[in-house]
Amino acid sequence: MYNKIMGCLASIREKIDFQPEIAVVLGSGLGDFANEIRIADTISYTDIEGFPVSTVKGHAGKFVFGYVEETPVVIMQGRVHYYEGYEMSDVVLPTRLMGMMGAKKILLTNAAGGCNPEFKPGDLMIISDHITTGVPSPLIGKNIEELGTRFPDMSEVYSRRLQEVMKVCADECGIEMRKGVYVQFTGPNYETPAEVRLARSWGADAVGMSTAVEAMAANHMGMEVCGISCITNMAAGISKVQLNHKEVQETADKVADDFKKLVAKVIVNM
Ligand code: HPA
């Protein structure tokens, strides 16, 4: 796996020598932010040798390199999901790759279902912690000693410092933020109401299909991590209506302006 990541890095370095300070992953419906930065270059995932790309046409994303004010960032516009059929180690390869490019901090974003009944669609949530009981650890397999230790501590995956930075940035933007625990399930199906009750009883506030394993891989290699969930819908059973991807997209669209403002401010201040 280490050689595979190094191969991807070499493939990128043949094209561009950009040194990002911050890595950003844009979730479902939130990808538009990448078009607003001062873009230096882009690399389509399909042009990176060995990179796990979706076989579904039109589904592959790209790395966008550029600047938010003076801060150099690499942004993933489109991520790799476990439900697409990849090994979990491939799912987190892009995260590790951005770390290897030089990013010391990472901002992860996603669309998620709210399982805290006080939440409402359109809320933005600072991720304070996560639960990955429902998915394999991305660190299973031979440990990559070059990146981190075999048994990494996970007592502060989401940096308390960055949680505070996000809160201050949100206040300055006049955006109300929630804070809570994200639980990752495999997807691609949405959860059953019983699974959502289980998640709630575990202490989860939001359910999703992506971010927690990326946070683990980033934490393993010593990156400082923070995350924002866009609550696009109430999770199954809390929501009175059936869930569908269209609703997820529509809610993400509605909060896109607030989201973009917040993310830009967080990047500059993290
Ligand atoms: N469950 C899981 N993932 C999601 C949801 C949900 O309700 N909404 C958006 N992503």
Q: What is the pLDDT at residue 28?
A: 81
Asked whether the predicted pLDDT for residue 29 surpasses 90, the reply is no
pLDDT tens string 130-149: 999 999 999 999 999 999 99
Q: What is the pLDDT at residue 246?
A: 87
The tokens describing 242, both together, are: 């059936």
User: Exposed, middle or buried: residue 69 (CB in 10 Å: 0-12, 13-18, 19+)?
Assistant: exposed
**Torsion-angle region of 21 (φ positive above 0: left; ψ -120 to 50: alpha; else: beta):** alpha
Residue 239 CA: which ligand 1 atom is closest? 7
Q: For the chain, give the percent of residues with pLDDT over 70.
A: 97
3-state class of 189 per DSSP?
coil
Pocket test for ligand 1, best of 81, 83, 190, 255 (most atoms within 8 A of CB): 190
User: Known catalytic residue: 28?
Assistant: yes
Task: Report d(CA 248, CA 205) in Å as an integer.
Answer: 17
Task: Report d(CA 260, CA 26) in Å as an integer.
Answer: 10
DSSP β-bridge partners for residue 158? 225
Q: What is the pLDDT at residue 109?
A: 96
Q: What is the pLDDT at residue 240?
A: 85
Q: Please give the distance, rounded to the nearest whole angstrom, from the Cα atom of residue 201 to the centre of ligand 1.
A: 17
Name the average pLDDT for the chain. Answer: 94
Query: Residues with beta carbon inside 6 Å of ligand 1?
Result: 111-113, 190-191, 207-209, 232-233, 235, 243, 248
The tokens describing 54, both together, are: 């979706």
**Angle, vertex CA 172, rays to CA 257 and CA 259, nearest 5:** 20
Pick the closest to residue 36 from 269, 267, 270, 198 (CA basis): 267
Residues 6+ apart with CB under 8 A from 176: 123, 124, 170
The total of other beta-carbon atoms located within 10 Å of residue 155's CB is: 6
Task: Report d(CA 123, CA 252) in Å as an integer.
Answer: 10
Going by the DSSP 8-state scheme, the letter that residue 241 receives in this structure is: S
The tokens describing 149, both together, are: 């230790």
pLDDT tens string 53-107: 866 555 669 999 999 999 999 999 989 999 999 999 999 999 999 999 999 999 9
8 Å CB contact between 263 and 25: no
Catalytic residue among 2, 67, 83, 86: 83
User: Known catalytic residue: 81?
Assistant: yes
**Amino acid letter, 191:** E
Catalytic residue among 14, 36, 49, 59: 59
The total of other beta-carbon atoms located within 10 Å of residue 188's CB is: 11
Instruction: Read off the pTM.
Output: 0.96
The total of other beta-carbon atoms located within 10 Å of residue 14's CB is: 10
User: Known catalytic residue: 130?
Assistant: no
Q: Please give the distance, rounded to the nearest whole angstrom, from the Cα atom of residue 114 to the centre of ligand 1.
A: 8
pLDDT tens string 175-199: 999 999 999 999 999 999 999 999 9
When pLDDT is averaged across residues 236-260 and rounded to a whole number, the result is 90
Task: Report d(CA 189, CA 18) in Å as an integer.
Answer: 38
pLDDT tens string 196-232: 999 999 999 999 999 999 999 999 999 999 999 999 9
